[in-house]
Amino acid sequence: MILAKGRIIQAFLYNSYQFSYSNAPSIISLLKTMITSMTGYAITQQTYDLITISIELKSVNHRYLTLSFKLPEEWRFLEHKLQKFLSSRIARGKVECRLCVQEDCLYSQFSLNHEVARQLLYLNKQLLKEGKVSALSVGDILRFPGVMKKNELDVKALEKKILSQLEETFHYFSQTRTDEGKHLKNHLLQRITKIDKLVQEILINQPARIHKYSQRLKEKLEELLQTSPEAERFNQEIIYYLQKIDIDEELSRLQAHIKEATQIIISSQTDPIGKRLDFMMQELNRETNTLASKSAFIELSQYAIELKVLIEQMREQIQNIE
């Protein structure tokens, strides 16, 4: 009776693990990437009517979107518009925007406030008649507060120029982030391809491992047969071995996650994908941990270690993706 059970279980093991690795998903051809890095930098400088405007944008990776602005105090009123512009175009990252407005010395020359100068001269004459003060020199008059006034800037016109220049700066800024994204894409595709290859190797070699497991189980059953085991102990042994080799579910999910992650990487969508890829790495890591915990062969443990290393390499790079 026990031998019959052994033959039934052996047949069950082979039938349960007929993996269709020939139909396993492979890495499909590359499409146009839309991966954007959170690391970027750009600076532009323009001169308008002897006014030099410099705009600098730089960003690093961050879990959320954080904007900071360094503006001259007299241009602080532009912060809201700058924030609105950037927040509508960037999803994640720590971004710093720096604005510098420098006036040419020729343009920023002072002009005489004739009204204040006339009042000052009148008062000086009145005091001279009383003999209380001496006559004011030209230098005294020019140094008196309010006599010299600075030429005022056309703030409205410059505001439009600043916002227009910001768009230009952001164009170059986006280009650097996209260029970095291309390098990240290549890195991720190399790693996901290696992960896919390892999973295929596990699938291909699984029938041989099943055969070894079956031989072990058969020997164990023969050993138990000689000692006339109890039914409960017999069932425990069967369950133990079945649990040890049952990685079908983990391999299937690994294949599904690999396919989904690959499609995300090579997709042409414009939406940020950093968080989606990070979630996929969590799922891949989870299945790999389960696979490692069920490993009864050294080679499977080695495969699990290689998978975890590749997944961790991908996860580190994904932290830089918007």
User: Which of the given ranges, 154-158, 223-227, 238-242, has the highest pLDDT on average?
Assistant: 154-158
Element (H, E) at 51: strand 51-60
Split at pLDDT 50, 70, 90, the class of 22 is very low
The pTM of the full predicted model, rounded to 2 decimals, is 0.65
**In the predicted model, what is the mean pLDDT of residues 75-89?**
94
Contact 272, 89 (CB under 8 A): no
Give the least confident one: 113-122, 156-165, 191-200.
113-122
Is the C-alpha dihedral spanning 29, 32, 38, 44 positive or negative? positive
Arithmetic mean of pLDDT over the chain: 80
Count helices and strands in the chain by DSSP H and E runs: 9, 6
* Main-chain phi, psi angles of 60, to 5 degrees: -135, 170
Contact 101, 72 (CB under 8 A): yes
Give the least confident one: 108-122, 190-204, 247-261.
108-122
Q: Between 255 and 112, where is the model more confident?
A: 255
